[in-house]
């Protein structure tokens, strides 16, 4: 979990304002407090990212989630400065990213970051292998070497046999594999995903999500993943940042968001989630009452509710949630049924 290691990316007070005299908005307390409509009327500006701060730990999958227009795509583009932030600080591996000049920025993009796009952004006039090798090519890598490297990555993402095809001869899922391969080919430290699977069919989307999980296990890169799909966020994300109107609403692990929503917006957002698959016992345990028998089965607090359901229902005594020999709380039928019933009610 973050905190123990020095962060790869560290964002503080980041603003991105579009419009005339954009830089004035974050500076002025009055303007920065305005809502979207008022800001537009007063200054003609739109604040896509408002005062966002977070850290991303090495190897973490950090998901930014929000509905369209929430500023999440702008935020991720600020991280590799495809979009220039208006104010704030941005540190990458200890380096002030906003101070980097064009040449340094290019170097970072070539060696450290890469990005996967919603609409793939492939070069239609090049074959798959040439697309994958493009990033290596612009670094100045020789043809033989880059082709060899590209073929390795093509194999990694399961595209072997398609390397001679042109992008428009492939299905959407396959095209995104090309995008993924291109991003991986440069062996970057950080991968940015901008809603990479939202244009795909549900089944293919699930395959691709699993693919990302598999790759994460194999290559262990830090990933920043943008999505508007909560189940995708919960499935992939170590931690999730929820954005609304450019503002950070809440950051936390999946069970934190579901178990302790910061406000009604998040609560509403997570209401459809199958809570028993997200929440762990620590979110539903209660302090033992005097009449509770304290000799039921023992479970860890990180056990998911749906995994504990059978144990709890089978036992006639509440189970004990223990850690290091200490009793944290108990969970009885009532608590379990509370979670399960909420799901049935919700659906």
Partner 1 sequence: MAVLEAAKTTRPPAAPPAAPATGPVWAAHRGAVVAGVVAVWVVLWALLRNRFTLTLDTASTTDLHLRINDIRDSIDAGRNSNPLFLYVFNEIRLVIDALTNTISGLIAQPAFGRPVPLLGWLGVVAVVMFVAWALGNGRVSLLAGAVFVFFGLQGLWTQAMDTLALTLAAVLVSLLIGIPLGVWAGLSDRVNRVLTPVLDFMQTMPTFVYLAPLTLFFLIGPASAVIATLIYAAPPAIRITAHGIRSVAPATVEASVALGSTPRQTLFGVLIPVARRTIVLGINQTIMAALSMVTIAALIDAPGLGQNVLKALQTLDVGTAFNAGLSIVLMAIVLDRVTTAMSERVEVARLMTPQAIARRPYLLGAGAFTTLVCVYLSYTFANYAVFPKPEGSSLGYVGDDVARVADSVTTWTQSNLTFLTQSWKDVSTAWILDPVEHLLVESPWFVVFAVAVVLSMVIGNVRAAVTTAVCLAVVIGTGLWSDTMTTLAAVLVATVLTVLIGVLVGVWMGRSRGADRAIRPVLDAAQVLPSFVYLIPFVALFGATRFTAIVAAVVYSAPIAIKLVADGIRNVSATTVEAALSAGTSTLQMIRKVQLPMAREALVLATNQGLIYVLSMVVVGGLIGAGALGYDVVAGFRQSTYFGKGLAAGLAIVMLGVMLDRVTQAASGRTGGAKKR
Contact residues toward partner 1 (CB under 8 A) are: 80, 82, 105-111, 113-115, 117-126, 134-135, 137-139, 166, 179, 182, 186, 192
Q: Is 295 exposed, middle or buried (0-12, 13-18, 19+ CB in 10 A)?
A: exposed
The C-alpha atoms of residue 166 and residue 228 are separated, in whole angstroms, by 30
Which one, 228 or 282, has the nearer CB to partner 1? 228
Write down the least CB distance from residue 147 to partner 1, Å: 16
Which one, 124 or 290, has the nearer CB to partner 1? 124
SS3 139: helix
User: H or E segment at 116?
Assistant: strand 113-116
Q: Are 140 and 111 in contact (CB under 8 A)?
A: no
Could you write out the three-class secondary structure of 145-185?
HHHHHHHHHHHHCCCCCCCCCCHHHCCHHHHHHHHHHHHHH
Residue 134 structure tokens: 């493009």
Instruction: List CB contacts of 179: < 8 A, sequence separation 6 or more.
Output: 116, 117, 120, 121, 122, 196
Write down the least CB distance from residue 126 to partner 1, Å: 8
SS3 307: helix
Write down the least CB distance from residue 71 to partner 1, Å: 17
Which one, 116 or 321, has the nearer CB to partner 1? 116
Write down the least CB distance from residue 183 to partner 1, Å: 8
Which one, 176 or 209, has the nearer CB to partner 1? 176
Write down the least CB distance from residue 160 to partner 1, Å: 18
Which one, 27 or 143, has the nearer CB to partner 1? 143
Which one, 192 or 197, has the nearer CB to partner 1? 192
Which one, 80 or 86, has the nearer CB to partner 1? 80
Write down the least CB distance from residue 135 to partner 1, Å: 4
Instruction: List CB contacts of 243: < 8 A, sequence separation 6 or more.
Output: 52, 64, 65, 66, 70, 71, 72, 75, 249
Which one, 198 or 231, has the nearer CB to partner 1? 198
Q: Are 324 and 330 in contact (CB under 8 A)?
A: no
Q: Are 196 and 115 in contact (CB under 8 A)?
A: no
Write down the least CB distance from residue 167 to partner 1, Å: 10
Write down the least CB distance from residue 132 to partner 1, Å: 11
Which one, 100 or 304, has the nearer CB to partner 1? 100
DSSP secondary structure letter of residue 318: P
Write down the least CB distance from residue 198 to partner 1, Å: 13
Q: Is 293 exposed, middle or buried (0-12, 13-18, 19+ CB in 10 A)?
A: exposed
SS3 7: coil
Q: Are strands 190-194 and 222-227 parallel, antiparallel or unpaired?
A: parallel
């Amino acid at each position: 979990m973050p905190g123990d290691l020095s962060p790869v990316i560290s964002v503080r007070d980041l603003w991105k304002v579009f419009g005339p005299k954009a830089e004035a908005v974050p500076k002025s307390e009055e303007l920065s407090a305005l809502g979207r409509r008022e800001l537009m009327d007063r200054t003609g500006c739109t604040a896509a990212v408002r005062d966002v701060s977070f850290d991303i730990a090495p190897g973490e999958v950090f998901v930014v989630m929000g509905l369209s227009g929430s500023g999440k795509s702008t935020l991720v583009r600020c991280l590799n400065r495809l979009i220039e932030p208006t104010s704030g600080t941005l540190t990458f591996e200890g380096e002030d990213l906003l101070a980097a000049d064009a040449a340094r920025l290019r170097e970072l993009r070539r060696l450290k970051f890469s990005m996967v796009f919603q609409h793939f952004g492939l070069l239609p006039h090049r074959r798959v292998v040439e697309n994958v090798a493009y990033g290596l090519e612009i670094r100045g890598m020789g043809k033989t070497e880059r082709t060899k490297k590209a073929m390795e990555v093509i194999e990694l993402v399961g595209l072997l046999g398609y390397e001679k095809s042109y992008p428009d001869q492939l299905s959407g899922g396959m095209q995104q594999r090309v995008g993924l391969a291109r991003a991986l080919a440069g062996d970057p430290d950080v991968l940015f995903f901008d809603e990479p699977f939202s244009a795909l069919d549900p089944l293919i989307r699930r395959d691709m999500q699993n693919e990302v999980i598999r790759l994460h296990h194999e290559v262990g890169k830090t990933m920043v993943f943008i999505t508007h799909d909560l189940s995708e966020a919960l499935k992939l994300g170590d931690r999730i940042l929820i954005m609304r109107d450019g503002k950070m609403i809440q950051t936390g692990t999946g069970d934190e968001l579901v178990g302790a929503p910061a406000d009604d917006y998040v609560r509403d957002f997570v209401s459809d989630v199958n809570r028993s698959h997200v929440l762990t016992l620590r979110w539903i345990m209660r302090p033992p009452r005097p009449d509770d028998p304290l000799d039921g089965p023992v479970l860890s607090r990180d056990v998911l509710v749906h995994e504990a359901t059978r144990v709890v229902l089978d036992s006639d005594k509440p189970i004990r949630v223990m850690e290091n020999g200490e009793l944290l709380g108990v969970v009885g039928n009532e608590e379990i049924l509370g979670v399960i019933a909420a799901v049935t009610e919700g659906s």
